[in-house]
Amino acid sequence: MTSPPVKRKLAAILAADAVGYSRAMATDEEGTMKILAAHRAVIDGIIQFHEGRIVNTAGDSVLAEFASPTQAVRCAVEVQDALKTRNDSLPEDRRMQFRIGVNLGDVMVKGDDLLGDGVNVAARLESIAEPGNIYVSSSVYDQIAGKLDLGFSDLGEQSLKNIDRPVRADRVDRDKRATPPARKKKGSPLPWVAAGLAVVVLGAGATWYASQQSAARQAEEAKAKLDAEAAKARADAEIAKARAELEEAKKAAVAATDSAAAAKRALEEQRAAESLARAQSQVAAARADAESTRRKADAELAAAVEARRTAEAAAKSASVAKPIPVKASPSYAGAWKATFSCAAFQEFPAEKFEVPVMFSAGKFEMQRGKPQEPGSLTMTGTPQADGNLQMSGRGYSIRKAFLGRPFEMSFGGKVSTERYDGRGKFGNRDCTMSMVRATGVVQTTVAAQPAPAARTAGSTRSYDGQWTGTFACSGGKDPDRSFPAFVSYSAKGFEVQANKPGQPGYRLLTGVPQPDGNLRLTGNIFRDSNTSFAASVEGRFSGDRYEGKGKFLDRACNLTFNRR
């Protein structure tokens, strides 16, 4: 059984392609896709208006078929004019230009696709065209010369990739808008010799024939002039209609872009609301844990008081020798302050920042921020009998490219009752870490000594409950402003946050209140997702109100918070 013959036809092929599309996608995929979609809406609308059929699209390229080369070239010109108007309204680095090639040739039909040399020549002409220009083959030029109000530049014969013959090409000069004379074709001189002989033979009758035909020619010229004016009027009307439809298409594209931006903003607001709800849930859970810890501590304190009373009663009734004092041994218990000094690494500058540390239950524990949130870190370590201390833990990145990604931290050094100095890694950065007591007081414990007397009622200040606060900052280059501070209290002390984690201006300060009501809060303020600087606030409680002051670079800030 023989295969059916291949179907062929003569068609005008338009091939268009975006210039620098791959480079723009590598820089900004989302923005490039939006601009391409808006441009394609304009291109597809103009092709449809000129009765063209889009044969194939592949990313940034378009292949269309027209029944007439005049329609194909007129469509190409209006596409470039429309894209120029749109690009002029965009920033220079966001503009996207197209180049177009048009060819008239024999093509093969396969389903909805077109194949063959006629398609290949159009694609190769597009590939050598300059951005924003239109190249046409000589077969197109010969058909449209004198029919469109356009200028043309003869580019001569071009050697095109995978085309085995040179192709003569012309560039469409849209700015000239002048109809060029038809190109003269080279040929043999024999027709001119024959024409000369004919003139000699017919010279005698030329005068009589001209006089007879003069009136008829004048009538035909007048009719041709009227027909040309009518055709021009129809063409002008079609152009006006096309431009009106193009404006509508542009408005629709802009509206689509605005709608996408609004949807993106709504999604971001929804995510922010969900993040706030999670944070509030975590704060509530932390408060519940703090209340449970407080109740447990109260129970332990009551048990200790009862045990002390029992011991005192037993001591009075027993006749034993005076106990031999036992030498006090150093203790690390209480609040400490860690200072990190990190060298520059890639885009990170050298920086120095502080983090609060607590020692309890036989180990040091460092905590900044909410666990597993960008900018947070946790490290722990147990001191050895010889003073060696290995601190290790995990942090979560604030870099935009790795936001929220975990990294490891490890530091080794010697610790005394007053100071620790260590070296190690903060992710990939080389850093040193020193720790000193937050209050500057060395605490000691005495083995086998009686428990201290219990505090009298009312001597211990309670900070449990809900708090609300405000930062008020002035000075520097930025205007004066006030913004809310999110304050929470747990067994580890106070934690004050402002703004959102991972965003410029995010700050996280922590501190443990002293028995005299003084509270020093220390932490970091993030300039952007990659850099931060250390900050502190000094202040004091007065009843259920705290007032503190601090210097954040060149700005003075006041922090106040009250119990609700």
- Of the listed ranges 365-369, 413-417, 460-464, the least confidently predicted one is 460-464
**pLDDT at position 176 over 60:** yes
Amino acid identity for residue 112 in this structure: D
- CA neighbours closer than 13 Å in the CB half-sphere of residue 456: 0
**Are the CB atoms for 86 and 42 separated by under 8 Å?**
yes
Q: Rounded CA gap, 101 and 151, in Å?
A: 16
Q: What is the pLDDT of residue 299?
A: 85
Q: Rounded CA gap, 346 and 352, in Å?
A: 16
Tens digits of residue pLDDT in 108-146: 999 888 999 999 999 999 999 999 999 999 999 999 988
What is the greatest pairwise CA distance in the chain? Answer: 166
Q: What is the pLDDT of residue 262?
A: 84
- Residue 404: strand, helix, or coil: coil
What is the chain's percent helix, strand, coil content, to nearest 5? 35, 35, 30
pLDDT mean over 78-106 = 94
Burial class (CB in 10 A: 0-12, 13-18, 19+), 332: buried
Q: How confident is the model at residue 501 (pLDDT cuts 50, 70, 90)?
A: confident
Place of tokens 């007129």: 74
**pLDDT at position 531 over 70:** yes
Task: Say if strands 134-137 and 98-110 run parallel, antiparallel, or are unpaired.
Answer: parallel
Q: How confident is the model at residue 196 (pLDDT cuts 50, 70, 90)?
A: very low
Tens digits of residue pLDDT in 198-241: 333 334 343 433 345 455 556 665 665 677 577 567 857 776 78
DSSP letters along 41-95, please?
A: HHHHHHHHHTT-EEEEEETTEEEEEES-HHHHHHHHHHHHHHHHHHHHTS-GGG-
Count the Cβ atoms, other than its own, within 10 Å of residue 1: 3
Q: What is the pLDDT of residue 52?
A: 95
Q: How confident is the model at residue 390 (pLDDT cuts 50, 70, 90)?
A: very high
Q: How confident is the model at residue 348 (pLDDT cuts 50, 70, 90)?
A: confident
pLDDT mean over 80-94 = 93
Q: What is the pTM of this model?
A: 0.35
DSSP letters along 205-225, please?
A: HHHHHHHHHHHHHHHHHHHHH
Tens digits of residue pLDDT in 318-333: 654 454 454 445 689 8
Chain centre to alpha carbon of residue 412: 39
Q: Rounded CA gap, 66 and 72, in Å?
A: 6
Partners of 546 in beta bridges: 541, 561
Q: How confident is the model at residue 475 (pLDDT cuts 50, 70, 90)?
A: confident
Q: Rounded CA gap, 103 and 62, in Å?
A: 14
Q: What is the pLDDT of residue 448?
A: 36
Q: Rounded CA gap, 258 and 552, in Å?
A: 39
Q: What is the pLDDT of residue 252?
A: 83
**pLDDT at position 186 over 60:** no
**pLDDT at position 379 over 50:** yes
Q: What is the pLDDT of residue 346?
A: 78
Partners of 103 in beta bridges: 13
- Residue 380: strand, helix, or coil: strand
pLDDT mean over 446-468 = 56
Q: What is the pLDDT of residue 445?
A: 37
Q: Rounded CA gap, 506 and 521, in Å?
A: 15
Q: Rounded CA gap, 510 and 487, in Å?
A: 10
Q: How confident is the model at residue 306 (pLDDT cuts 50, 70, 90)?
A: confident
**C-alpha dihedral sign at 479, 269, 267, 285:** positive
Q: How confident is the model at residue 541 (pLDDT cuts 50, 70, 90)?
A: very high
Amino acid identity for residue 466 in this structure: Q
Q: Rounded CA gap, 398 and 404, in Å?
A: 6
Q: Rounded CA gap, 438 and 357, in Å?
A: 9
- Of the listed ranges 30-39, 339-348, 384-393, 438-447, the least confidently predicted one is 438-447
Amino acid identity for residue 19 in this structure: V
Q: Rounded CA gap, 156 and 106, in Å?
A: 22
Q: Rounded CA gap, 357 and 523, in Å?
A: 11
Across 438-554, where does the E strand assignment appear?
444-445, 467-474, 481-490, 493-498, 507-511, 518-526, 532-542, 545-552
- Nearest partner of 476 among 406, 556, 410, judged by Cα: 556
Q: What is the pLDDT of residue 224?
A: 54
- Of the listed ranges 167-176, 326-335, 398-407, 490-499, the least confidently predicted one is 326-335
**pLDDT at position 417 over 90:** no
Q: Rounded CA gap, 88 and 80, in Å?
A: 12
**pLDDT at position 187 over 50:** no
Q: Rounded CA gap, 65 and 57, in Å?
A: 12
In terms of DSSP H, where are the helices of 318-367? none
Structure tokens at 492: 């580890």
- Nearest partner of 20 among 42, 38, 36, judged by Cα: 36
125 or 183, higher pLDDT: 125
Contacts of 211 (CB under 8 A, 6+ apart): none
pLDDT mean over 385-412 = 89
Tens digits of residue pLDDT in 229-282: 775 678 577 767 868 887 887 888 778 778 878 888 888 999 988 988 898 889
What mean pLDDT value characterizes the chain?
Answer: 82
CA dist 467 → 516, 545, 547 (Å)? 20, 9, 13
Amino acid identity for residue 211 in this structure: S
Q: What is the pLDDT of residue 454?
A: 36
Q: Rounded CA gap, 258 and 513, in Å?
A: 51
**pLDDT at position 87 over 70:** yes
- Of the listed ranges 184-188, 197-201, 507-511, 533-537, the least confidently predicted one is 197-201
Structure tokens at 455: 């505090």
